[in-house]
Copies of this chain bind each other. A is one copy, B any other.
Amino acid sequence: MEDYYTASLLKQVAARPYYVRDERQQQQQSRPRPRPNSSAASSSPFFLKTRPDAIAAMAHPQTQFTHTEFTGDSSSMLRRRRTTVGRATAKAQLQRMKDSGQYDAFRLEKKPVYDKTRWPCPPPVYWDSDVAKWIEGACYLLSEEYDAEIDAAVRELADMIRGAQRPDGYLNTWFTMEEPEGRWSNIRDKHELVNEAALAHSNYYKNNLLIEPLEKYVKLISTVIGPGPDQKHAYPGHPETELALLRLYTATGNEDAYKLAQYFVEERGNQTGQDGLPYYEWERLQRGESPYQRPDSYSMHESSWYNQAHAPILEQQTIEGHAVRAMYLLTGVADLLCLDELGVKPYAHKSEYFEALTRLWNNMVDKKMYLTGGIGSMWQWEGFGIDYFLPQSSDEGGCYNETCASIAVIMLAERLLHLDLNSKYADIMELCLYNAVMTGLSLEGTAFTYVNQLASSESDKSRREDWFDTSCCPPNVMRLFGCLGGYLWDYGGSGRDAYVNVHLYTSAKVTFQVEEQQIILEQKSNWPWEGNTLFELQAPASTGVTIRLRIPSWARGNFTDQLTPSHKAAQVEKGYLVLPSAYTSANRAFSIQIDGFKPRFISPHPYTNQNTLTLARGPLIYCVEDVDNAWEQDHFRNVGIKSDSEVTEKEEEIDQMGERYIALRSVGWIRKIDDRTESESGIEPGISLRQTVVAEEKELTFIPYYLRANRGGRGHMRVGLLRG
């Protein structure tokens, strides 16, 4: 028998529930990790002592991730990917920021690369926020594994950012260099209000080098924008500021930041906010612009839905507009509610906003989300189409699915879990992570996709790029993986009661304290390939620990039977199997077996007019690529499958990368269309009943969607195949 861990992806962890590979974990933990200033602070996410009460309350993944360590060997998917991001992605992106001029922009030296032709917002306007995402991601990754080059770059950037700030607190390199008189003149389109790198920086470096300019900038913004008669009644054209401000408040207690975030949320979409007009319209009149002069992303002259500004949030019935903006906005709203929920800061309108949040979430998930977790079918505004409009590709009418948008869905879902512990949010979080987001990063970690269609076409092949003019997606992936540990679970407690809610299964260990008592929960899993997860809990005998385990919606079977040791009284509450403290006291080690890793066919809602089948296995969505099916010449447009086809599994490895995965195989069929024009065939013009399903069978090989575009090939790929 070959070595158990290397010969097969199917490890059946729970078959040996008490097996612990101590020596490898020791190796991993002993990797040197230089930490700046105080290494003792590593288990506490907050060094700024202003708000210790907020630690448990605002359990942001971006701060709590340091409590979690990915364990398992190199075949553990999340650990492996996070390592790649830390080692390869961060450096490759640093180089590209330097090549593109983004890095040096903070020196306030104009470069010829400053292309100003794109109106109203040339790409350099976004640069500050792209770089900020990289800084944020770098700080997260440094805390896992030190790298001198990355460290030096972050320090230099921090110095440059401080130097780029104007004496009054203003901080935006593009406006400062190109249009100093134009500040605050186009809040709708120009990104003056996006930045959340400082928090990550302060957490890692234990200093105020970025917090200080940020607070100075917040002070300035609070002067310019607000409800006062001489203030602008504005809100960000590109939301994200809201959540950054609330993180700042959580970390430092900065009341200006809280008030500003609350104002942004509540003022947004006010149709009479400034001199009886919607703010963006008032602002446009100040600029003397025609209402018909509009960015390319505004399809019609009244398209304030693009920025989610068509109505107050409480009145919005459907999720609309630019997908990334919508998700960041709702994440900010959720943060406001979390601060109340967790007792940090009461919020009077919590229940109405929660209702709006769930209404918009449900509209998105039920009617506007692809089965990969991608959102945004419309290229023009990189956002939502009408209900059920979910074509697979640009040659079918759309499919955008920006990587950033699904990252933001993950952020929002995590917040919603604090407000309403329901596996439906965690299911979507996992769906996005393993499919719509992971597909955005190459295996080497150095090439990216911005758009993640479900099918390629001649004009949009399944290909990766090194970098983009507007390069939010690459550093956003880096940022997400940097703090990924924070998304696995949430936990806390008081007195002698502690809890851990487990959202994602992998191999990882979390260490936290409740009333000075240290609790450690470790999970070992071969997820997403297998459904067994082994847990080991360490806690003082005096502390009762309730553990809740997510049962994915696609899981099958009776879950209480699949717990080892069994616990007949265990209940599933809103999708979480609840293990009471009596059980966890009696069973420090236990395992759960989630069934659902047999390949299955799924299908979009019938109203999408997508009469297709897609293979899924566990949380993974599969696709076909020409690399495995070299006979294909037309992007699998005429390839079908039947839901009763037999599907077999095969373990495969991508040689160069050592990446291992389970491929699926089945037999498909080829659609032959009598495609002659009416003049050739005598059939009715544009009309045919001659769609013939020919018995030509083809062996089909499927790979996980996240692995697409990693092995060369001609860029032909498809997720949904014709339903036979």
Whole-angstrom CA separation of A418 from B254 in the bound complex = 79
- Residue of B293, B396, B422, B679 near A609 (CB, 8 A) is B396
- List chain B residues, Cβ under 8 A from A548: none
Nearest-Cβ distance from residue A356 to partner chain B, whole angstroms: 17
Please tell me if A607 contacts chain B, counting CB pairs below 8 Å: yes
- List chain B residues, Cβ under 8 A from A291: 119
A689 and B611 contacting across the interface, CB-CB below 8 Å? no
B385 and A678 contacting across the interface, CB-CB below 8 Å? no
Whole-angstrom CA separation of A671 from B605 in the bound complex = 12
- List chain B residues, Cβ under 8 A from A120: 292
A685 and B365 contacting across the interface, CB-CB below 8 Å? yes
Task: Give 1 or 0 for each of A674-710: 1 = CB within 8 Å of chain B CB.
Answer: 0001110011111111010000000000000000000
- List chain B residues, Cβ under 8 A from A380: 299-300
Please tell me if A362 contacts chain B, counting CB pairs below 8 Å: yes
Interface of A is mostly: loop
Please tell me if A538 contacts chain B, counting CB pairs below 8 Å: no
Whole-angstrom CA separation of A366 from B389 in the bound complex = 24
- Residue of B385, B396, B691 near A603 (CB, 8 A) is B691
A292 and B119 contacting across the interface, CB-CB below 8 Å? yes
Please tell me if A397 contacts chain B, counting CB pairs below 8 Å: yes
Please tell me if A290 contacts chain B, counting CB pairs below 8 Å: yes
Please tell me if A367 contacts chain B, counting CB pairs below 8 Å: yes
**Interface segment, A178-186, A325-333, A423-431?**
A423-431
Please tell me if A8 contacts chain B, counting CB pairs below 8 Å: no
Number of identical protomers:
2
Q: Which of A553, A554, A679 has the most CB of B within 10 A?
A: A679
- Residue of B300, B396, B428, B683 near A685 (CB, 8 A) is B428
- Residue of B395, B602, B607 near A689 (CB, 8 A) is B602
Nearest-Cβ distance from residue A335 to partner chain B, whole angstroms: 22
A301 and B296 contacting across the interface, CB-CB below 8 Å? yes
Please tell me if A606 contacts chain B, counting CB pairs below 8 Å: yes
Given A290-B293, A397-B397, A366-B427 contact (CB < 8 Å): no
Given A397-B397, A609-B609, A609-B611, A687-B294 contact (CB < 8 Å): no
A553 and B689 contacting across the interface, CB-CB below 8 Å? no
Whole-angstrom CA separation of A387 from B609 in the bound complex = 17
- Considering only residues 393-443 of chain A, those with a C-beta below 8 Å from chain B are 395-397, 422, 424, 427-428, 431
Interchain residue pairs with CB less than 8 A apart (6): A293-B294, A367-B686, A427-B678, A427-B684, A601-B689, A605-B686
4 A-B pairs with the lowest CB-CB distances in the bound complex, closest first = A293-B293, A606-B691, A296-B300, A602-B687
